[in-house]
Amino acid sequence: MIKLLIVDDSALMRRQLLTLFKAEGNFEIRQARNGKEAVDENREFKPDVITLDINMPEMDGITALSLIMADRPVAVVMVSSLTEKGALATFEALNLGAVDYIAKPGGTISLSIGEIKNELVNKVRAAARARIKGKTSSARGLTQRVRDEREKSASRPVAVRRGVVGEGLVIIGVSTGGPRTLEDILPLLPEDFPWPVLVAQHMPASFTRPFAERLNAMCALTVVEAAHPMPLEPGTVYIGKGGADILLTQRADKLTVIAKPENRDFLWHPSVELMGRSALEHCDPSRIVGVMLTGMGYDGADAFTEIKKYGGRTIAESEASAVVFGMPSELIERGGASLVLPSDEIAAQINIWAGR
């Protein structure tokens, strides 16, 4: 039995969510009308998971989340609007400790719930099993961490295959818990990092540009949303556009990243599996480093296993640090992981392989 607290200022939305989860049969449910009630219910009811609206009177969801995580940390799934403002608030919530989010589609509430039913139930179930991380570093703390890591990298012996430096490609697959994990890894890649980096993060279309801009402000590398064809450049991170798949192609003898409409044969988007297959199609496998981070499901496990089979190198995030161990676990079980590392060691390994 999963103890679920539903927090929303809309009585109709609360009723719709209550009906949805009661139909699942294994939820014990309470409700709260605002952030203040949520903080009190978290202390009294002790839920396993909270679904938390962002925009509420008396106390908003972000303020409530900060108090919840300080008082009694719990798995929280934010309920966010599909707007840039909603995206920014969601990233703030993830930074405060929320496990995941669900984006409200447009239209009437009853129709909206129907559109997101399966995704919402799956995310709440996954959140009930998720590893709850503490708060991330402040901006000042992150800057110091970057500085310390670069100093360590400078004195670390380089273990890189001859001929790979300057010719490599990093591809990263990630889902639930990903934004926060990427914020812990990508800022630790130095300004002179010699390879391009492709990221398939499962995310709605309206979220990926604000997310790329957020990462760009944190990182020494240039971070962009891959919304249109772009020639691959070293030292650039390409975030796959939500609502599309991120692929590689050859244009005028130049390797180019493109966004293509979602392939309906695949469950998750941007698809990690399609990104991995595309990299295998257009690159020497020995040039590829594949990194599989936290997330539900198995997206990318087959392609990343093929990358390792044909001479590439792969990293699976360890269970010790993964918010949800699904995607890395699938890669490990297939024998597709060259290394299994906690998230705070992944950037250092990528830097070693890149000769940095």
The whole-model pTM stands at 0.86
What was the pLDDT predicted at 144? Answer: 52
Handedness of CA 264, 269, 271, 275 (dihedral sign): positive
Average pLDDT, the chain: 89
Residue 134 belongs to a domain: no
Per-residue confidence (pLDDT) for residue 253, from 0 to 100: 84
Residue 260 β-bridge partners: 245
Closest CA to 152 of 196, 181, 197, 190: 190
Q: For residue 164, what pLDDT is reported?
A: 35
Q: What is the mean pLDDT of each run of 10 residues along the chain (356 residues)?
A: 96 92 95 97 98 93 96 94 83 94 64 77 94 54 50 42 59 96 97 97 94 97 97 97 96 93 95 98 96 97 98 97 96 98 97 92
List the CATH number of the domain containing 227.
3.40.50.180
CA dihedral 113→240→346→354, nearest 10 degrees, is: 180
Judge contact between 197 and 172, C-beta under 8 A. Answer: yes
What pLDDT does residue 83 have? 76
In single-letter form, the type of residue at position 175 comes to S
- What's the confidence (pLDDT) of residue 112? 63
Question: Tell me, what's the pLDDT at 148?
Answer: 56
Give the pLDDT of residue 104.
73
Number of domain units in the chain: 2
The dihedrals phi and psi of 198, each to the nearest 5 degrees, come to: -110, 135
- Give me the domain span that covers residue 281: 139-353
Q: Is residue 263 part of a domain?
A: yes
- How does DSSP assign 128-191, residue by residue? HHPPPP-PPPPHHHHHHHHHHHHHHHHHSPP---TTTTTS-EEEEEE-TTHHHHHHHHGGGS-T
> Reduced to 3 DSSP states, what percent helix, strand and coil does the chain have, rounded to the nearest 5?
45, 25, 35
pLDDT tens figures, 220-250: 999 999 999 999 999 999 999 999 999 999 9
Q: Taking the CB of residue 161, how many other CB atoms lie within 10 A of it?
A: 13
Same domain flag for 196 and 220: yes
Asked if residue 303 and residue 229 are part of one domain, the reply reads yes
Can you tell me the distance from the alpha carbon of 124 to that of 101, in angstroms, rounded to the nearest whole number? 9
Choose one of 129, 162, 186: the last residue of a domain.
129
Report yes or no on 306 lying in a domain.
yes
Same domain, 165 and 72: no
Final residue belonging to a domain, choices 103, 129, 155: 129
Same domain? For 114 and 198 the reply is no
Q: Which residues are catalytic?
A: 175, 202, 299
User: What does the pLDDT read at residue 15?
Assistant: 92
The two structure tokens encoding residue 251 = 């244009």
Same domain, 61 and 21: yes
- Same domain membership, residue 149 and residue 266: yes
Query: With 0-12 CB in 10 A as exposed, 13-18 as middle and 19+ as buried, what is 71?
Result: exposed
Statement to judge: residues 156 and 264 lie in one domain: yes
Residue 64's pLDDT is 97
Q: Report CA-CA distances (Å) from 116 to 139, 216, 257, 356.
A: 34, 30, 30, 43
pLDDT tens digits for 107-140? Answer: 444 446 777 888 899 999 999 999 886 544 434 3
